[in-house]
Every structure is written in C-alpha cells, then in structure tokens.
Structure 1
Amino acid sequence: MFVDKAKIFVKGGNGGDGLVAFRRELYVPEGGPAGGDGGKGGSVIFRVDEGLRTLMDFRYQKHFKATRGEKGKNKTQHGANAEDMIVRVPPGTIVVDDDTGELVADLTRHDQQVVIAKGGRGGRGNTRFKSPANTAPAIAENGEEGQERWVTLELKVMADVGLVGFPSVGKSTLLSVVSGAQPKIGAYHFTTLTPNLGVVNLGEERSFVMADLPGLIEGAHTGIGLGHEFLRHVERTRIIVHVVDMSGMEGRDPFDDWLKINDELKLYNVKLVDRPQIVAANKMDMPDSEENLAEFREQMNEMHPDMLIMPISSLTRQGVQELLYRVGDVLDSLPDQIEIEEKAQKEAAEEGIIYRFEAGDDRSFTISRDNEVYVVESESIEKLMRRTQFNSYDAVVRFGRILRGLGVDAELRKRGAKDGSIIRIGKFEFEFFEGGSDSYLFEET
C-alpha cells in the first residue's frame, strides 16, 4: 500500500532540572553552592533517507517523543544532554504545522535534516545564582519544556518525468515498456491508484526516473476523483509527458482531452504551465489514429506551435525509443532541481541541522478579569513560571521580583488588585499582596 500523507505528533524532550546543593566536605566550613545545571532535552529531527519511498511507517507509529535531559548533579556537575531522536523520511517529504498551516520543511536531498521539535534547555543549578548579596542561594530552575506539535507529512514523488493524462490512455503500459517497473495494467479506468516509479536507462550512463501518475478527470484541482492525491506529485517532476489517446476509441476528442488536463494543471498550480511538456500521441497502431493526429497537430499549431508531439504506440513500441531520447535531451538542458516556489523552504542549509522556533524576547503582557480573578497573559511569563521551582522560598521571591521588574505589580494595582486578590497566570493561581515581596502563595489549578 502506498501512503503519501500522514499526521503525527512530535515532542522534544524536556530539559533536566537544575539542582540545589551545597558543598559538604571535611575542613570546608560553610561550603558554597554546588548544584549543577540540568542537561538539554533531545530534539526530534527528520532526516531524509533515499532508501525510503513511502510514509508507510507513520501509519503505525504516530507519536515521536525525545527523551529529557538529566538532572543537575552535586559538585557543580552538569546533567547529561539527551540524545536527539532521528526520524527517517523519504525524499520529497513536506512537513506542515497542523495548527497554523505553516510550511516547516521541504525535504528533498539525501541526509538533509531539520529540527521539527526542539528540546528544552536544562534548568540552572543554584551555583548560577550566587552573588555578593546572596552567597548561598537556594534557587534552581526546572528544565524548559520541549516543543510539541502536530504536523502533517505530505509526500510528493521525486521523479524527473511525470506521465499525465486521462485514465486508460496507456501511461502504465508505457512505463512498463521503457523500464523495469511492473505497474498494474487493466482495460478499465483508474487501474493506477498510486504513483509507480521506473528507471529508464538510455545507455552511456544516461538515465532518468519516470513516474506513472494516477489518471486525471475534470475538476481534479478541487479534489474530485483522485484530485489532489495526483496533482501534488506533478509539482516535483522536471518534465511532463502528456499521454494522449489518439485512437479516440472512447468517443473523446484528443485535443479536447489535452486542453482539459492542462486546465486542471493550471488551476491547481499556475507554475505548472511553464513546466516543459512533450505530448506522447499514443495508440498510433489503432484505426483512425493517423487522421486524429493530423487534426490534433493542426489544432495545436494554432495555440502552441512550439509544442513537441511524438507519435508512439506503447503496444508495438513504435516511436518509443525516439520519445525517450528526446526526453533525455530536454532533461540534460534543465537544472538538476526544479524550483518549488510554493512556500518552499528557502532557508534549508546544504548541510547540517536547521534550528527553528527560537523563543522570542517579547516581555509584553495583558491583564483581564475573569469575575473576581485577575488573569495575566504572557508567553514569556508563563514560560518563566514553568521553569520556577515553587517549592523553594527563594525561587518564589525571585519570581515576584521579576514580575515587579516587568511592571506586572504596578499594572495590577492600576486595575484595582488589593491584598488577597487572586491572580491567575497559566495554570497557577496565587494571592496578591500589595508591596509584598515574599508573600506570594502559589497553588496549581
């Protein structure tokens, strides 16, 4: 079974917690702080493996969670960083954030890799909070939470040549004749339900990959029939070979077929109009094909006089070799990779890992009322709360001092907060004491 779309959950590992510890050694009275930092959580990294061809593995495993960093240790020892989780994906995989629709990565090259869910930083141990004013701090931080998200993986077949055309025009037969591929062939529509790939060898170290793509029907750009399941793969091809049934056996007009298919390509992605295209006039061994071809050429000259039309018969192999050599010549004149202009990942480095989604430095906040509760909303403050160890008195005092430095206390007083007012930040609620620096009572809701 071919799987070309999957939705999965990824989560970077949490950072390890920092440690509160003090030196306890013989002949070292009043030893200073000795708590180490926590280790960094592992990241979830997607890496391209050219040996993969489908997203089948993601049908059975949909959750990928990296391990968390190790906690800080005594004697100022740093906790070990967690190993990154490497997830292998086939070339041609597009990663989209399921919530925002943002394109996260466009993975095309072997060994290309990108961080999809970044691991959290380790929390600082109490050694990092030592100062002249506080030589024995009992403060440490929790590890930062790793990034988590649902992402949609979409596979677009990586092929040099894409065979397009209405159902039953002979695309699968042509692929089976020119390559070692063995696609399903039948005398009925939609024999091909999934893309088939084959390597065409022209000799003299010349070869290319050809894809037999599922047949189109009118309205495919809106998702009718196989619709988008087909069209997404056309975008990856460098050349389009448009297979047209010149026999007209099913009562269809060859030129009208060509117009309808090209209209569907244009409506799906206007850039496909500029993709090099060769018309393979197939089934020339059938009656009336020569007359239909002559009429087809006349109609094409009026609209696209430069369009290359190659008469062939997949059954008798008439003209097939000439078609392949012409395709090879066109490929040789093109760049190695076509430009994928649809929200493409232009930031992808040639090598190495791309780190994204760095937390911003925005310290802004908003305050609203929920009945008698004052609700403070701020991404940076909520992040700080998650890293604060509220079982430590010194940590609570430090957190309150930071809130005052950000202007939260002053704004709460302007909004009418008094002693004993309930303040909610994230999933925590606490009592507010005007002018107090050590009277915050936190309780998780």
Structure 2
Amino acid sequence: MLSLQGYSENHKMKHIRRSFIDTLRLHVKGGAGGMGFPRFGGAGGKGGDVYVEAREEISLIKTLKANETKRWSASGGENSRKYRILGKQGQDLVIPVPQGVSVKMDGGAVLGEVNTVGEKLLVAQGGAGGSPLNRYNGQKGQALNITLELKLLADIGLVGFPNAGKSTVLRAISNAKPKIASYPFTTIQPYLGMLKYDDGRQMTMADLPGLIEGAWANVGMGHKFLRHVERTKLLLFVVDINGFQLSPKYPHRTATENVILLNKELELYKWDLVDKPAVLMVNKMDTPYAEEKLSTLVRDLARLPDLCQQFPEEYQPEHWVKFSDVIPCSARENATSIHHLKHRLRDLLDFHTDLDGDQELMVSSSRDRVRKLSTPQSKQLL
C-alpha cells in the first residue's frame, strides 16, 4: 500500500510525463466508399481522407486531448440513391499537430513531415466509391498505425551535461522561464526561448534535457534529447569550467573531457550532427581559479585528438566538432558576458546561413555550366 507521500510523488511524476509529449502513436482510418446503384449506374461517394496538418500554438499533448482514444477516422462516402445518383463524398479529417512533426508507419518507414504552418500530409486515403470498376461495391478506407514524432525547430540548440547552466543561459538571454536548481536533470522537457534584438530581429533557442554518458544508446533521456538537436541550425555547447560529476558511480569529468564526451554522444547518435556549426560557451567563470582552468581548456582544444587517447576506444570520437568560437561567460553573475554571447550568436548564425546559401548557389551554378558543356547522354545523369 502506498503511503501518502509515495502517492504524491507518483502522481507528480505522472503529471511530469504527460506535461510534454514528443512522440504519439495513433490509429488512422480513411472513410469507406459509398455503395453504387447498379440499376441506374450510380456511383457511391469516395470516403474521406485523413491528413496531418501543422498548426500554430499547438502541442502533441493538445492533439492527444482532442481525441484521447487515439483513433482518428474520416467519414464514409454516401451511397448512390435513386434521387442522388452520385453519392456525396465523405468529409476529410484533419489531425492538428505542431510544426516539426515527422510521421512514421509501424516498421519505421517515414510518410513525410510538416514543418510550416498550414502544411498538410495525407496519412490515410478514403476508399473508392462503388462504380462499374468495382461492381458497385464501395471500398474500405486505408487503415494503419502511425507515430507522430516531434523534432523542435530552433535556430540554436543548447548542448551539455546536466547542471552545466543551460537553463540559466536560456533564462538570461531570452524570454523563457525554465526551472533552475542546483541538481542534475532540472530540465525534463524542452524549452524554447526567443532572442530579441533592438532592430526587431528574433531568433529561437532550445534548452533540452541534459545528456549523460550513453545517451546515444538511449540511456537517461537519450533519444528524447538528441532527436531535437537534428533540426537546429547552430549548436551551443555549454560546459561548466569546473567539470561535472553526475553521481558517485560516474567519474568526475573535467571541462575538456566534457567536450570530448559530448562530441562522441552526438557522433554515435547521428554522425553528421558534428558537422553542424557550433560554439563553445564556458560557463561559471565567476568561480575560483576559473581563469587558470580556462587557459588549460583552450590549450587542450588545440590537441583534442591526442588527449582523447586516454579514454577507452569506444569513447574516442572519429569526427570532431569544429567550434566557430569559444566564449567564456557567467550566465548567473555577469550580464555583460551574456550580452556579448547573444550578439556573437547572431553574427555566427548569419555567417553560416550566408555560407550555406553561397555553397548552394555555387553548386547550382556549377551544374548549369556542366549542363551546357555536356553531351545529351551525360545530361541524363545530371
């Protein structure tokens, strides 16, 4: 029998788990086609289709609350009748979801994504109405199980181990108000903050649950975190200058070792994540001996491949994150350092966005030049 305290803690955890959902499994079914009318050659109406549509200010928890049975079915087409030879088509059904949702079938096949407001994706077709082609028998609608998987769309994603100060950074630099405390795993769900500038420019920053060693294998909040990193444009690594120790069963890791392990976790989950533009923020520079530790970290960053040889082979990265800048900061105590960080992130994000645009333009231009010089046979390959 649970004590009152145990019940309270259990109830609180259930509330936490339901306060944010980033995956949701649903059963969807297109409407059945209406029956035809053989005597008059009448055709039944087509069954309604089921769509997923991206909406503003909605979350997957709201999608769930809209239909907690998790079964979404479009209406069937009407039968052909004596006084209505062509049966009326069934009404389509639209499932509202947040932007950045990927839709997968059982087995992992991806049906598609909806990334902008108003974008729609067909997930289940309605059945054909009865006609001479099917002996006037209305066809069943398509039925299948799908999984909605949310990947946050943000300009900047915060990457770091628990208690590195990511939530403090987000609170200081934006309008978000994540929970902050001096113990690991304060952040249990992603927070989005808006960075606003005097000229009206805005950028989004996502604070995500802290990684632990083994996150790539879904240890801790593993894939719940790493999934959201995929769609950010720039990664902001946040490292405590004093290092970090998750618990007594884990060794204490220096700031340098944190960088190496974060690099490896990203690489193991999806190797091309380490190719994203990245900035290293060294936090808690207001603590004793921080300047000396920073000097050591900067020296270490120039020889990371050599230093990581002391790790077991499975912890050694094969591909390395290339930091565009290393920014010392005290998110809690030094407003000037936060101001510098905010404007430096804007400059770097714009730089890499322009660089990507120039590369795409160069590739397009090169292909055009090659097409003009190519033979008809080679043009088929372009």
Q: How does 1:262-277 map to 2 (within 5 A)?
A: 262-277=263-278
- 1:306–1:242: structure 2 CA closer, same or farther, 3 Å change rule? closer
* 1:299 and 2:300 aligned: yes
TM-aligned CA deviation for residue 302 of structure 1:
2.6
Q: Which residue is 1:329 aligned to?
A: 347
What letter is aligned with 2:341? L
Out of 329, 351, 363, the position equivalent to 1:312 is: 329
Q: How does 1:180-195 map to 2 (within 5 A)?
A: 180-195=175-190
What letter is aligned with 2:20? F
Q: Partners in 2 of 1:184 and 1:62 — Cα distance? A: 31
Q: How does 1:384-403 map to 2 (within 5 A)?
A: none
Q: How many residues align?
A: 313
Q: Secondary structure at the match of 2:303?
A: helix
Q: How does 1:215-234 map to 2 (within 5 A)?
A: 215-234=210-229
Q: Secondary structure at the match of 2:158?
A: strand
Q: How does 1:132-143 map to 2 (within 5 A)?
A: 140-143=135-138
What letter is aligned with 1:159? A
**Rg (Cα) greater in structure:** 1
Q: Which residue is 2:73 aligned to?
A: 65
Q: Partners in 2 of 1:249 and 1:52 — Cα distance? A: 36
Q: CA RMSD in A?
A: 2.0
Name the TM-score, length of structure 1 as normaliser.
0.67
* 1:10 and 2:16 aligned: no
Q: Partners in 2 of 1:177 and 1:298 — Cα distance? A: 29
Post-superposition Cα deviations, 1:195-233, rounded to whole Å, max 9, x if no partner, equal 011101022121100011110011000010111111100
Q: Partners in 2 of 1:200 and 1:146 — Cα distance? A: 46
Q: Which residue is 1:236 aligned to?
A: 231
What letter is aligned with 2:185? F
Q: Which residue is 1:196 aligned to?
A: 191
TM-aligned CA deviation for residue 20 of structure 1:
2.7
Q: Partners in 1 of 2:36 and 2:126 — Cα distance? A: 16
Q: Partners in 2 of 1:171 and 1:300 — Cα distance? A: 21
TM-aligned CA deviation for residue 249 of structure 1:
6.9
Give 5+ residue unaligned stretches, structure 2.
1-18, 246-251, 305-320, 358-382
Q: Partners in 2 of 1:17 and 1:182 — Cα distance? A: 56
Q: Partners in 2 of 1:305 and 1:65 — Cα distance? A: 48
Q: How does 1:150-169 map to 2 (within 5 A)?
A: 150-169=145-164
* 1:36 and 2:39 aligned: no
Q: Which residue is 2:368 aligned to?
A: none
Q: Which residue is 2:317 aligned to?
A: none
* 1:78 and 2:86 aligned: yes
Preserved contact between residue 278 and residue 323 of structure 2 (Cα < 8 Å): no
Q: Secondary structure at the match of 1:58?
A: helix
TM-aligned CA deviation for residue 140 of structure 1:
4.0
Preserved contact between residue 244 and residue 254 of structure 2 (Cα < 8 Å): no
Out of 102, 109, 114, the position equivalent to 2:116 is: 109
- 1:305–1:234: structure 2 CA closer, same or farther, 3 Å change rule? closer
Post-superposition Cα deviations, 1:1-20, rounded to whole Å, max 9, x if no partner, equal 01111111000001101013
Preserved contact between residue 166 and residue 216 of structure 1 (Cα < 8 Å): yes
Give 5+ residue unaligned stretches, structure 1.
22-33, 130-138, 340-445
Post-superposition Cα deviations, 1:303-330, rounded to whole Å, max 9, x if no partner, equal 4786410011011224111111111112
- 1:55–1:271: structure 2 CA closer, same or farther, 3 Å change rule? farther
Percent of paired sites with the same residue: 39
TM-aligned CA deviation for residue 53 of structure 1:
3.5
Instruction: Compare the two structures and name the one with the higher helix fraction.
Output: 2
